[in-house]
Amino acid sequence: MDTPKVLLIVTQDTKEEECRFMRQTLEAAGCEVIHMDPSIRRTVGGAEIGPAAIAGAAGKTIEEVRALGHEGKCQAVMIEGALKLAADIAPELAGVISIGGSMGTGLSTAIMRALPYGLPKLMVSTMASGFTKPYVGVKDIAMMNAVTDIAGLNSISRDVFRNAALAMAGMAKGYDPARGTEKPLVLITTLGTTEKCTRRIREALEADGAEVMVFHSSGAGGPTLDSIAAEREVAVVLDLSLTEIVDHLNGGIADAGPDRAKAALARGIPTIFAPGNVDFIIAGPLDVAEQQFPGRRYHVHNPALTAVRTRTDDLETLADHMAELAREAKGPVRWFTPLKGFSHHDSPEGHLLDLAVPGPFAEYLASVMPEGVEVEAVDAHFNDPEFADRIAAAAREYLKAPAAA
């Protein structure tokens, strides 16, 4: 884009001066600015997308929004309208930037999360030095600490805003939405305890010409994979680390919620599952783990995290859950289960080895899976080359198959 268009989201009712400075800096850096002003208290004017238009997109007048008299309800309406309007202009954009406090950050990042991966997104916020997960979610949002409150311009805030605007200008000028790859896309989950296996699979499929994205399944990685599976054309998903599902079922701290793994299945993307890292639940410090899961075996990963050994009944519950997911699948699903351990922890070199579990789990899994789901037990450890090669061979079958109509 010769003159990149940048969406600037700032409420002028409280941040008029800061907005003007940010706009001037972006324009001086060679960007065309589209200002979206979701102000509620008053309408200043001058924005390309003003409060009335935002409220209107949500089916209300700005007067009706103000009459709600509740900041949360007002914001919900403005988010609804802003999402619709941002979607309309998204193909034109080369970036989106915002400055805000807690309310502005909540609204602006809701819009950013709805925009595609790759589009530059920068949030200058008073919330950036704290808990940012609710704002970033699973999207590629950069957050910059505002340092001072966003209340006028001072020697620090000028530098922060200027740096943010210039960073956005640079990203916007370099943004190329057409730059992509024709390679088939493969998504994989892993943890360090199964990385030996997934690395071998990744290298094999990359050598075949696939693009492979790997996600760390510690609470955010799996949902990120799901988000990409819902948004992009994906050839095959290799869900090889089910920690987040085990933790969801058992109260572990990497719980990714009830929808983990559903996106690819709902779209009919061929999916291969393997029970990587199901030998443990991720708990907090050892004393907390012992209280939450008494009478178990424990491995202290670090002072903050403890791996708690799962039992056969835990994994039967997992099998039941995965069978329910498979019943809703609109595409092919396959399972591979290693009979000599599920992770490095569950190995002779690890700390949680229990060879009495994999065999019964494999049998139970096969008994509950719906018809049409192929379940194969492999006489190997998860990290053994023969197990990785079996999964890679199955993935190649899907990669060579013609795409579904």
Q: For position 92, which CATH number holds?
A: 3.40.50.12020
131 and 72 in one domain?
Answer: yes
CA dihedral 276, 280, 282, 286 (to 10 degrees): -150
Distance from the Cα of residue 230 to its chain's centroid: 11
Question: Is residue 45 situated within a structural domain?
Answer: yes
Tokens of 352: 């949680």
Regarding whether 156 and 289 lie in a shared domain, the answer is no
C-beta of residue 127 within 8 angstroms of C-beta of residue 101: yes
Residues 138 and 118 in one domain: yes
The whole-number average pLDDT for the span 272-294 is 98
CA-based nearest residue to 127, from 103, 151, 97: 103
State the pLDDT at residue 246: 98
**Parallel/antiparallel/unpaired status of strands 121-125 and 93-100:** parallel
150 shares its domain with 247:
no
Domain presence at residue 56: yes
196 with 301, same domain: the answer is yes
Distance CA 394, CA 108 (A): 42
Residue from 399, 236, 259, 249 nearest 331 by CA: 236
* Structural domain count, the chain: 2
Amino acid at 83: L
- Helix %, strand %, coil % for the chain, to 5? 45, 20, 40
Q: Which residue is it, tokens 């494999």? A: 362
pLDDT in tens, 76-103: 999 999 999 999 999 999 999 999 999 9
Among the three residues 144, 174, 204, which one is the final residue of a domain in this structure? 174
Are residue 54 and residue 203 in the same domain, yes or no? no
Q: Are residues 158 and 235 in the same domain?
A: no
Q: What is the pLDDT of residue 291?
A: 97
Whether residues 232 and 113 share a domain: the answer is no
Among candidate residues 26, 28, 29, 49, the one with its CA nearest the CA of residue 39: 49
Of 153, 174, 195, the last residue of a domain is: 174
Which range marks the domain in which residue 149 is found? 5-174
- Cβ count near 252 (within 10 Å): 24
pLDDT class of 131 with cuts at 50, 70, 90: confident
Residue 179 belongs to some domain of the structure: no
CB atoms within 10 A of CB 180: 11
405 within a domain of the structure (yes/no): no
* Placement of tokens 């805030």 in the chain: 157
Instruction: Find tokens 């970033």 and name the residue.
Output: 136
Percentage of the chain with pLDDT > 70? 98
Residue pair 254/205 in contact (Cβ under 8 Å)? The answer is: no
Q: Which residues contact 80 (CB under 8 A, 6 or more apart)?
A: 57, 58
* Mean per-residue pLDDT, 12-24: 95
Would residue 140 count as lying in a domain?
A: yes
Confidence at residue 1, expressed as pLDDT on a 0 to 100 scale: 52
Residue type, 278: V
Q: Is pLDDT of 405 > 50?
A: no
The reported pTM is 0.86
Q: Could you tell me the CATH number of the domain that includes residue 385? A: 3.40.50.12030
d(CA 218, CA 142): 20
Residue 277 within a domain: yes
Q: Which of 108, 139, 174 is the last residue of a domain?
A: 174
Note whether residue 288 is domain-resident. Answer: yes
Under 8 Å between Cβ of 217 and 254: yes
Q: What's the Cα-to-Cα distance from 213 to each of 219, 230, 259, 263, 331, rounded to whole Å?
A: 17, 15, 20, 16, 21
Task: With H, G, I as helix, E, B as strand and everything else as coil, classify residue 189.
Answer: strand
Asked if 31 and 140 sit in the same domain, the reply is: yes
Q: Within this chain, do residues 238 and 161 fall inside the same structural domain, yes or no?
A: no
What length does the chain have? 405
Could you report the per-residue pLDDT of 177-213, keeping only the tens digit for each? Answer: 876 678 999 999 999 999 999 999 999 999 999 999 9
Q: Are residues 152 and 217 in the same domain?
A: no
The answer on 153 and 202 residing in a single domain is no
**Mean of pLDDT values over 312-317:** 98
Q: Is residue 180 part of a domain?
A: no
Contacts of residue 324, defined as CB under 8 A and 6 or more positions apart, other chains included, come to none
Q: Is the pLDDT of residue 272 over 70?
A: yes
Over range 40-67, report the average pLDDT: 95
